[in-house]
Chains A and B, each alone.
Chain A
Amino acid sequence: DIQMTQSPSSVSASVGDRVTITCRASQGISSWLAWYQQKPGKAPKLLIYAASSLQSGVPSRFSGSGSGTDFTLTISSLQPEDFATYYCQQANSFRIFTFGPGTKVDIK
């Protein structure tokens, strides 16, 4: 099975900061990677699909990059509404859609 790791597990940042979250797959998954944002008590929201494609309606300060095993989610200028937990998820192995453990972005 493909395992997903994320780093850091948490990050403290200020409004306006640039934040980068890394996701790594245990084996190559091409560009079959998505990123989700989840706020407390709410369902996750799709931000990025196909590793670098921005989901409709998502602000352009969010961007994704990478392919193979290493991926990055970048928030170019953190806004108050961006404080949340972020998850990567692989869809390369159609038998199991593994999520990463999550990265919590909180206020510094």
Chain B
Amino acid sequence: QVQLVESGGGLVKPGGSLRLSCAASGFTFSDYYMSWIRQAPGKGLEWVSYISSSGSTIYYADSVKGRFTISRDNAKNSLYLQMNSLRAEDTAVYYCARENIALYYGMDVWGQGTTVTVSS
């Protein structure tokens, strides 16, 4: 079935780095744009980054620009988020989601999320 599975979350000290992965299955990954979205504890959803199907177009939220890097490997059906210079305010559950152009870029498939905690 259509599925996204995130991994790579954990506890990291301020200033540290972490790389999140999102494994896609059940659909042609290379046909879809993808996004990372996060949710801090008890807070709302915050869009983090977006990558086009080929990887040629990338956008970031101002809050992570210059620190986070999104990438994808279509041969491995995988999406990544390299997070550097992490701050306490980056603590959140991180979700990957499929952007469906046919649905006006509605995010129609989500992973279960992976938790990132930034603390000393």
Contacts from A to B (Cβ < 8 Å): 1, 31-32, 34, 36, 38, 43-46, 49-50, 53, 55, 85, 87, 89, 91, 94-102
Contacts and interface: CB of A to CB of B under 8 A. Distances in A.
B104 A31 contact: yes
Contact of B107 (A34, A96, A101, A102): A34
Interface in B49-108: 50, 59, 61-62, 95, 100, 103-108
Contacts of A1: 62
Given A43-B110, A46-B103, A46-B106, 9 more contacts: A31-B104, A32-B105, A34-B106, A43-B111, A44-B37, A45-B110, A46-B107, A49-B108, A101-B44
Contact of A49 (B35, B44, B106): B106
A87 B106 contact: no
A102 B45 contact: yes
Closest 6 pairs between A and B when the two form their complex, measured CB to CB: A49-B106, A91-B105, A43-B110, A50-B104, A49-B103, A99-B45
Interface residues of B, number: 22
**Chain B interface mostly helix, strand, loop or mixed?**
strand
A87 B95 CA distance: 15
Contacts of A97: 35, 47, 50, 105
9 contacts: A34-B104, A43-B110, A44-B45, A49-B100, A50-B103, A55-B108, A91-B104, A96-B61, A99-B37
